[in-house]
């Protein structure tokens, strides 16, 4: 996949320091940044710090003969896939709305032929001023995407809308903009995704569970949404915020998760990422289990099998999704166990991953995608990258007539 590149314009304001964090997070997603730093922006961050994080030269002056010789401002304005202004001051937005071009940043915005994303940050009174709101309306009418600022306490001591949005939200918006022609690839598709662990109660305060963080399932739901899918996310208890746009259904136990999945059908694709407990106590105690003292016998616990959510959905005669994808978390003989699971549970694909190391709960994953006629080993990558790659593969498959049609042809 060709590396995506943005041109990041950093203007003045206390929020400018957050642009450094943004550059770092984009780099982790293999999105390169070339940066313009305004004169006011240099009062808050230095060209050296921006250059060190971006790994590229920082541009500051419109009338710099050396910079113009190396890369003219016209070429600079068109050297990326997306132009991002973060943070964007009221002054720079006013220049862009009026078509003014008296410095490198405003000239670049006027000369670019690429999509533009503006991320405002300013005092609440400045944000709410009629002139600022008129400028925003003008920019949006011109096709510019302007994010809404967050609401909260500000460095000036006031409270209200005007804070720079959180970095994950900005990164998500950038990724959405970079999708380009693929943005609607899954429009009209309903995807059902499970994520996180389940909890099976032992007594009112204890439960059986596992180390799943839910990160992979949430990342997949987010990637599908960014390709235009309507996503139902059924999740066990995790410390994550559901992706914007998801129909979120929180559950605790395996039986609750199965019920929520069946109620969410029909769906075009089902992705079973959740780490569902295989067993549950036959009888959960109604009172907290107590230790009776030294030398006492440990309480006996009878376990019974939980419903197999993946197998249940994959074997449905009515409302079976066209594409059923399971996850196989294994500690050894990963591909052998995954291939057996694919056949046993009637899946179309299995995403097999080795969880013997730091994968479960970690930030990265190394998987093998196993289909009925072949398999693919993917390199170790961030869970967000796995999600994007899987979502793209789903879009291609459903766009080619769907997995159900392919299986019928076989």
Fold entry, domain 184-282+298-409: Rossmann fold (3.40.50)
Whether 184-282+298-409 and 4-178 are alike in CATH topology: the answer is yes
CATH topology of domain 4-178: Rossmann fold (3.40.50)
- The reported pLDDT for the residue numbered 159 is 81
Which residues belong to the annotated binding site for CTP? Answer: 278, 288, 307-310, 327, 341, 345
pLDDT at residue 377 in the model: 83
Q: What percent of the chain has pLDDT over 70?
A: 88
CA pair distance 243, 238, nearest whole angstrom: 13
The alpha helices in 248-303, defined as continuous H runs, are 254-264
The 3-state DSSP class for residue 75 equals: helix
Residue 203 vs residues 208, 286, 301, 305: alpha-carbon distances, Å:
10, 6, 11, 18
| Per-domain boundaries in the chain | 4-178, 184-282+298-409
Residues designated as active site = 156
**46: number of Cβ within 10 Å:** 14
| Residue 389 backbone phi and psi in degrees, to 5 | -65, -40
Contact 8, 24 (CB under 8 A): no
Tokens representing residue 200 in the block: 């099976």
What confidence score (pLDDT) does residue 175 get? 80
3-state secondary structure of 341: helix
Cα separation, 362 vs 40, in Å, equals 39
pLDDT per position in the chain (410 positions), as tens? 457 899 999 999 899 999 999 999 898 878 899 999 999 999 999 999 999 999 999 999 887 645 555 566 678 888 899 999 999 999 999 999 999 999 999 999 999 999 999 999 999 999 999 999 999 999 999 999 999 998 887 777 778 888 998 888 888 788 878 866 566 789 999 999 999 999 999 888 888 888 889 999 999 999 999 889 999 999 999 999 999 899 999 999 999 999 999 999 999 999 999 999 988 988 887 778 776 665 556 667 788 999 999 999 999 999 999 999 999 877 667 778 888 889 899 999 999 887 665 545 556 777 889 988 888 888 777 788 889 889 988 988 887 544 433 333 33
Long-range contacts (CB closer than 8 Å, 24 or more residues apart) made by 168-171? 168/25, 169/244, 170/22, 170/86, 170/119, 171/22, 171/25, 171/26, 171/29
Model pLDDT, residue 360? 52
- Rounded-to-integer distance, Cα 296 and Cα 319, Å: 52
């Amino acid at each position: 996949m060709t590396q995506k590149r943005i041109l990041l314009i950093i203007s003045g304001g206390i929020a400018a320091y957050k642009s450094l964090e943004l550059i770092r997070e984009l780099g982790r997603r293999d999105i390169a940044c070339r940066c313009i730093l305004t004169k006011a922006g240099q009062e808050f961050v230095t060209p050296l710090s921006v250059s060190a994080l971006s790994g590229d030269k920082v541009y500051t002056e419109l009338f710099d003969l050396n910079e113009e010789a190396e890369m003219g401002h016209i070429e600079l304005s068109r050297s990326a896939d997306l132009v991002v202004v973060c943070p964007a001051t009221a002054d720079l937005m006013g220049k862009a709305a009026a078509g003014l071009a008296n410095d490198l940043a405003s000239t670049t915005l006027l000369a670019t032929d690429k999509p533009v994303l503006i991320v405002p940050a300013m005092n609440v009174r400045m944000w709410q001023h009629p002139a600022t709101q008129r400028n925003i309306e003008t920019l949006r009418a011109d096709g510019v995407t302007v994010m809404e600022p967050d609401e909260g306490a500000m460095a000036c001591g006031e409270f209200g809308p005007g804070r720079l949005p959180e970095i994950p939200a900005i990164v998500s918006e950038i990724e959405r903009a970079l999708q380009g022609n693929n943005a609607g690839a899954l429009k009209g598709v309903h995807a059902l995704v499970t994520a996180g662990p389940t909890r099976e109660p032992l007594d009112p305060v204890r439960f059986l569970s596992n180390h799943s963080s839910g990160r992979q399932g949430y990342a997949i739901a987010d990637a599908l949404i960014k390709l235009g899918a309507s996503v139902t996310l059924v999740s066990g208890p995790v410390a994550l915020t559901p992706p914007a746009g998801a129909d979120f259904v929180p559950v605790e136990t395996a039986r609750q998760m199965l019920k929520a999945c069946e109620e969410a059908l029909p769906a075009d694709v089902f992705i079973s990422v959740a780490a569902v407990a295989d067993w549950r106590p036959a009888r959960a105690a109604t009172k907290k289990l107590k230790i009776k003292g030294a030398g006492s016998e440990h309480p006996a616990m009878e376990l019974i099998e939980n419903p197999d959510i993946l197998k249940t959905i994959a074997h449905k005669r009515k409302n079976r999704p066209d594409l059923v994808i399971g996850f196989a978390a294994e500690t050894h003989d990963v591909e052998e166990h995954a291939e057996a699971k694919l056949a046993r549970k009637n899946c179309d694909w299995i995403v097999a991953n080795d969880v013997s190391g730091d994968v479960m709960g970690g930030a990265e994953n190394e998987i093998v995608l196993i289909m009925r006629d072949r398999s693919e080993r993917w390199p170790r990558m961030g869970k967000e990258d796995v999600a994007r790659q899987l979502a793209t593969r789903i879009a291609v498959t459903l766009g080619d007539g769907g997995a159900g049609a392919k299986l019928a042809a076989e």
